[in-house]
Amino acid sequence: MKTSLKLIELVREKGEAIARNWAKDVRRNAKTPYYHDLPEDRILPQAIQFYEHLLEIVNLDDPFAGARAYFSKYAERLFREGIPLNEAVYALILMRRHIWLYAEFQATFITAIEQKQAVESLLRTTLIFDYIMYFVAETYETLLKGQAESERAKKKSDYVIPWTSWASLWWEGRGKREEESHNLNGHAR
């Protein structure tokens, strides 16, 4: 679907400025405390790369499929960094919001035609952000299940006693029982 999406063109031209605004916001927003102590130069690339990949998929005929590969890896990276799911999703909401805020601040959509383009752009970017949030949640769920399974396996392995240990425990116990029996029989005489 090739469309003239002025909002997306704005991201192409001003993506880094939008990302800087997002980084400032996410570092002080009450809903994203994980980001508060991170330096801007560590989180800024997250938004810049995100916006670059958004630009790549926005005009694809199947943005759902186009988004899956990158944004699943994006979610995995956030998960590995320890960012809680609720904060990862809210950071995405802020990314979407900052595109629109930047457009409003720049008075990008003035004429009626531009306002119509704004609506089309907003609908298209909202759809893509919905897909992205789905992939983030799906990836986190998969990774959390894998983490839980590995923890269960570790707990099970903590209780497994190898056969040789069972055999030695049995033999040790047998020897003690024989000794106790012998001592009891010896005291009775």
Compute the distance between CA of residue 18 and CA of residue 60 in angstroms, rounded to an integer. Answer: 23
pLDDT tens across 143-177, in order? 999 888 888 877 766 555 555 555 565 566 665 65
pLDDT of residue 1: 41
pLDDT of residue 2: 43
pLDDT tens across 29-63, in order? 999 999 999 999 999 998 998 888 888 887 788 88
Contact assessment for residue 32 and residue 26, using Cβ atoms and an 8 Å cutoff: yes
pLDDT tens across 79-88, in order? 999 999 999 9
pLDDT tens across 64-80, in order? 888 888 899 999 999 99
Compute the distance between CA of residue 56 and CA of residue 69 in angstroms, rounded to an integer. Answer: 12
pLDDT of residue 14: 86
What does the pLDDT average to over 177-189? 59
Around 105, how many Cα atoms within 13 Å sit in the side-chain half-sphere?
11
pLDDT tens across 101-152, in order? 887 666 555 566 666 766 677 777 788 888 899 999 999 999 999 888 888 8
| DSSP line for the chain | -----HHHHHHHHHHHHHHHHHHHHHTT-TT-GGGTTS-HHHHHHHHHHHHHHHHHHTT-S-HHHHHHHHHHHHHHHHHHHT--HHHHHHHHHHHHHHHHHHHHHTT---SHHHHHHHHHHHHHHHHHHHHHHHHHHHHHHHHHHHHHHHHHHHHHHHH---HHHHHHHHHHHHHHHHHHHHHHHHHH-
Where is pLDDT greater, at 89 or 152?
89
pTM beyond 0.75, yes or no: no
Q: Calculate the dihedral angle through the C-alpha atoms of 139, 76, 45, 85, rounding to the nearest 10 degrees.
A: 60
pLDDT of residue 4: 46
Q: Which residues of 110-126 are buried (b: 16+ CB within 10 A; e: fewer)?
A: eeeeeeebbeebbebbe
